[in-house]
Amino acid sequence: MVFSAVANTGRFIASHPLTRDRKLEAFGRLLRWQVEGFLRDAVIFPWIAGTRLLVKRGMSGATGNIYCGLHEFAEMAFVLHLLRTGDLFADVGANIGSYTVLAAGVRRARVVAVEPGSAARAALLDNVALNGLDDLVRVEAVALGASRDKIRFTRGGDTINHVVSGQDRASEEVQQITGDALFRDECPVLMKLDVEGYEAAVLAGAAATLTNPELKALIIELNGSGCRYGFDDVRTHRNLLDLDFVPHDYLPRPRELRGRRAPSGQSTIYVRDLEWVRRRVETAEIVRVLHQEL
pTM for the predicted model, two decimal places: 0.94
**Within a domain: 33:** no
**Within a domain: 55:** no
**Total structural domains in the chain?**
1
How do the pLDDT tens digits run along the chain, 294 residues long? 556 777 889 999 999 999 999 999 999 999 999 999 889 888 999 999 999 999 988 787 789 999 999 999 999 999 999 999 999 999 999 999 999 999 999 999 999 999 998 889 999 999 999 999 999 999 999 999 999 999 887 776 655 666 776 666 678 888 999 999 999 999 999 999 999 888 999 999 999 999 999 999 999 988 777 777 778 888 999 999 999 999 999 999 999 999 988 777 678 999 999 999 999 999 999 999 999 999
* CB 133, CB 187: distance < 8 Å: no
What are the angstrom distances between the C-alpha of 214 and each of 12, 209, 251?
A: 35, 9, 24
The CATH number that applies at residue 252 is 3.40.50.150
**Within a domain: 16:** no
**Within a domain: 87:** yes
Query: Which segments of 40-178 does DSSP mark as H helices, in order?
Result: 60-68, 73-82, 98-100, 118-130
Instruction: Give phi and psi for 132, each to the nearest 5.
Output: 60, 45
Nearest to 151 by CA among 130, 177, 121: 177
Cα(145)–Cα(36) distance, integer angstroms: 39
**Within a domain: 96:** yes
**Within a domain: 19:** no
**Within a domain: 207:** yes
Question: What is the model's pLDDT at position 1?
Answer: 53
* CB 269, CB 250: distance < 8 Å: yes
DSSP string, 87-110: -EEEEET-TTSHHHIIIIIIT--E
Cα(123)–Cα(130) distance, integer angstroms: 10
Boundaries of domain holding 186: 72-293
**Within a domain: 63:** no
What are the angstrom distances between the C-alpha of 154 and each of 9, 112, 119, 143, 176?
A: 25, 22, 11, 12, 14
